[in-house]
Structure 1
């Protein structure tokens, strides 16, 4: 596989090089229902629509096949491979795209995980990211949620290669931990994708702020795919799936309803930002560092 993040061979034309430095990302903001088969069918339809609109990389939201909630995780959990991941594999292959499959409740050896699978254009499984940081919060009078009541945390970081660039994956609460984004950037990622489901308390306060912070801190593109808002659900998602540029600008954003948004990921622009404000070469590694545990 050609790594299009590095300089192309001299024989490659400048036009081809420019084309390789830009690709189209789409985020599917799915309205998740209590019926798993309906969620899979609708997700498949919207992924295909995104591909027909030119997307080369498509991402789904967190818990795209299941209502979000600790009481739902055991009921909707699947092994991997299973029904939901089989659909993702098939549609990725049919459309010839890289598909970031949001997340599903996964059952493995008696434990439950919040898991994102990524499939390549040939339908092969590229990575399986289990949510590292479990969403355990208590905001008095507003929201209390404890994923650890049913879920176990993942214990590995997740990066995959495309012909365009390396992409790092986190799930929702993972975005609050700046070290993860820093390590992904050190690994060479130029796009970070976080399927997420912020709620009506944390969404308006922190959803956009965290995305822009991770993008600006690391000079990378950041994309977040949320479920659409369902006011009748026991957990109401904020929506507002978003793509943020390395300059910290919002370049595409959904509202609250089910939709597809897209953005061009321009790696030449990213390189220019890093050249203009060269924080990656100006870090004081003699004074501090963020290291990945081996």
Structure 2
């Protein structure tokens, strides 16, 4: 997606994408990117767009879509308001529209780039503390968001909790994404021997001040890219062969060889 500061327009676009993906490819699971419902320019704007759960309009939209289309939706992330605190939060819905999981992003992106662009996510949200997995059709799914990808210890914890698939919605920057997005996603897949679903924002936002890399991907447990979006908005799909994950783990049983905690 190429989400902007118009929440209603972003929600309409997300709904159309989900419906089109379900109609075209008939998936069991649809994944949205980070901040799919609002990608604003300032912390004030992000916090103003935040929602309480479960009464927020984005929450209700995704729950209704999942129920109506009978598909699981890993809802990227939205800005969540909980009391006086704000979080970057993933919410996952089952095909009955019920909530399956909620994950608050643990690692926050506080970086100043070489060209002077400043990202201070901690000005907008607090960090989460819980490692989250959930069950979908007998498959253990793990949750991460964007900058989390640079911290392999989180992915190992997800693998140790039985994750067969790890889902990473993101708004990865263009400058880092062109060099690191695919490399890091493939590395996390290889290390954990899981399927990685890395789903990103693309194009400009914040009035053209910031750029996202896009290139949403499905990566197999051997580290091969099984499917990838082209430049620009759109969607891709992949069939996940979970038996292949079991084969990779049997061939190179790294999970039983760990020495350092």
Q: TM-score, normalised by structure 1?
A: 0.84
- Is 1:85 the counterpart of 2:56? The answer is no
TM-superposed CA distance for 1:68, in Å, is: 4.4
Per-residue CA deviations over 1:51-105 (Å, capped at 9, x if unaligned) read 2221101100001011244433122111112100000000011111111001111
Query: Residues 263 and 164 (structure 1 numbering): CA distance in 2 closer, same or farther, change over 3 Å?
Result: farther
Q: Tell me the secondary structure at the aligned position of residue 235 of structure 2.
A: strand
CA distance in 1, matches of 2:231, 2:103: 26
CA distance in 2, matches of 1:132, 1:275: 31
Match of 2:179 among 199, 205, 218: 205
Give the number of the structure with larger relative contact order, counting CA–CA contacts within 8 Å between residues 6 or more apart: 1
Question: What is residue 136 of structure 1 aligned with on the other side?
Answer: 110
- Is 1:263 the counterpart of 2:238? The answer is yes
Higher-Rg structure is: 1
- Is 1:159 the counterpart of 2:133? The answer is yes
Question: What is residue 62 of structure 1 aligned with on the other side?
Answer: 34
TM-superposed CA distance for 1:106, in Å, is: 1.1
- Is 1:185 the counterpart of 2:156? The answer is no
Question: What is residue 127 of structure 1 aligned with on the other side?
Answer: 101
Please list every run of at least 4 consecutive aligned residues from structure 1 whose deviation after the TM superposition is greater than 4 angstroms.
Answer: none
CA contact (8 A) 1:65 1:84 kept: yes
- Is 1:31 the counterpart of 2:5? The answer is no
CA contact (8 A) 1:191 1:221 kept: yes
CA distance in 2, matches of 1:213, 1:69: 31
CA distance in 2, matches of 1:38, 1:61: 15
CA contact (8 A) 1:242 1:252 kept: yes
Question: What is residue 49 of structure 2 aligned with on the other side?
Answer: 76
CA contact (8 A) 1:68 1:235 kept: no
CA contact (8 A) 2:89 2:102 kept: yes
- Is 1:242 the counterpart of 2:222? The answer is no
CA distance in 1, matches of 2:122, 2:210: 16
CA distance in 2, matches of 1:189, 1:68: 32
Matches within 5 A, 1:109-128: 109-128=83-102
CA distance in 2, matches of 1:184, 1:68: 30
Question: What is residue 41 of structure 1 aligned with on the other side?
Answer: 12
CA contact (8 A) 1:142 1:201 kept: no
TM-align CA RMSD: 1.4
CA distance in 1, matches of 2:59, 2:210: 24
Match of 1:172 among 146, 159, 173: 146
Equivalent residues, number: 257
CA contact (8 A) 2:172 2:201 kept: no
CA distance in 2, matches of 1:170, 1:38: 26
Structure 2 unaligned regions, length at least 5: none
Q: TM-score, normalised by structure 2?
A: 0.94
